[in-house]
């Protein structure tokens, strides 16, 4: 499903080169729930963003469902993301001036699904995440946990095959952490592949496999 071969990423900044990933190779099967753990600055997010087609690696190849995503041009990579991937971020990254429902509708609009199907789909997803009474609330009117659930609903809008979650519990209290990871587990049980970057060992326990990244290299 996801195949990473000899992936390296070097950041060049102000004359300095920083090796974020070094010769990382791994394979994630369809329907797996994989956690990537490691200390801060170990390259976890870089690896996740490389998987999501958001960072062009310095070397190596990322293949998802048989498609080498960095062989696609920018536009087609965006379309690929839209159809196959769902992102969940630590800080949720909801659009502040749109309501919960509208935030969930954005991926649908980008996919060309317009009025009619959009609102129903958003409502359906938000209801499943127990946000039926928050459809018309803006992010600032929602609790942290509610915002994260809206972000998960947005990631699910286009029925992605893979969810890429970057520290999804980083800003949550223990109860909400449990709830969020449980929900990701639930999604995984429906057949969605979940790759989660976390520094929370408790959250990582929900996954089937844990990859440890240290200084840009996979360990153990």
Partner 1 sequence: MNLRKIILKELLERKKQFLTSFIAILLGIIVIVAVKSVSSSSEKAVAIQLDNLGANILVLPQTTTIDNYYAADINAPEMPEDYVERIAGSTIQGVDNMSPKLSARIKVEDYPFVLTGILPKNELASKPIWQTAGFTDPGLQVACNPNPIINRSRGYKDPKLQRMAIDSLGAYDCLAGSDVASKLSLKEGSGIKIKGTELKVARLLPQTGTVDDGRIFVHLHTAQKILGKGKVINAIEIMGCCSAISEGLLGNLRNILPDTKITTINHIVQTQVRTNKTMEKFSLIFLIIIILVGGISIGNYMWSNVEERKREIGSLLAIGASPGDIYYIFIGKALILGLTGGIAGYLLGSLAGMILGPQIAGVKVLPIPLLFIWAVVIAVGVSVAASYFPARKAAKLDPALILQEI
- Binding footprint of partner 1 on the chain (CB under 8 A): 40-41, 44-46, 49, 52, 54-55, 74-75, 78-79, 81-83, 85, 87, 89-91, 93-98, 102, 105-111, 114, 118, 154, 158, 166-167, 170
Q: Which is nearer to partner 1, 32 or 166 (CB)?
A: 166
> To 5 degrees, how large is the angle CA 87–CA 34–CA 188?
70
Q: Which is nearer to partner 1, 108 or 131 (CB)?
A: 108
Provide the minimum distance between the beta carbon of 172 and partner 1 in the complex, in angstroms, as a whole number.
Answer: 14
Provide the minimum distance between the beta carbon of 124 and partner 1 in the complex, in angstroms, as a whole number.
Answer: 15
Provide the minimum distance between the beta carbon of 91 and partner 1 in the complex, in angstroms, as a whole number.
Answer: 7
Provide the minimum distance between the beta carbon of 173 and partner 1 in the complex, in angstroms, as a whole number.
Answer: 18
- Rounded CA-CA distance 88/70 in Å is 21
Question: Angle formed by the axes of helices 144-156 and 174-189, to 10°?
Answer: 10
Q: Which helix (H) or strand (E) holds 79?
A: helix 74-84
- Rounded CA-CA distance 161/142 in Å is 28
Ramachandran class of 64: left when φ > 0, alpha when ψ lies in -120 to 50, beta otherwise: beta
Q: Which is nearer to partner 1, 139 or 183 (CB)?
A: 139
């Amino acid at each position: 499903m996801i195949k990473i071969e000899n992936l390296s990423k070097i950041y060049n900044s102000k004359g300095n080169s920083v090796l974020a990933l070094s010769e990382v190779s791994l394979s994630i099967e369809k329907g797996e729930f994989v956690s990537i753990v490691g200390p801060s600055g170990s390259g976890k997010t870089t690896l996740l963003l490389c998987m999501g087609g958001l960072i062009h690696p310095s070397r190596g190849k990322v293949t998802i469902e048989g498609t080498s995503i960095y062989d696609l041009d920018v536009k087609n990579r965006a379309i690929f993301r839209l159809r196959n991937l769902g992102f969940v971020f630590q800080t949720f990254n909801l659009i502040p001036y749109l309501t919960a429902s509208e935030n969930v509708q954005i991926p649908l609009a980008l996919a060309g699904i317009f009025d009619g199907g959009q609102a129903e789909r958003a409502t359906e997803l938000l209801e499943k995440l127990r946000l039926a009474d928050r459809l018309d609330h803006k992010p600032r009117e929602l609790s942290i946990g509610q915002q994260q659930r809206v972000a998960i609903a947005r990631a699910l809008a286009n029925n992605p095959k893979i969810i890429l979650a970057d520290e999804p519990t980083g800003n949550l209290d223990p109860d909400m952490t449990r709830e969020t990871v449980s929900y990701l587990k639930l999604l995984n049980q429906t057949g969605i592949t979940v790759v989660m970057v976390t520094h929370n060992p408790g959250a990582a326990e929900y996954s089937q496999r844990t990859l440890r990244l240290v200084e840009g290299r996979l360990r153990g």
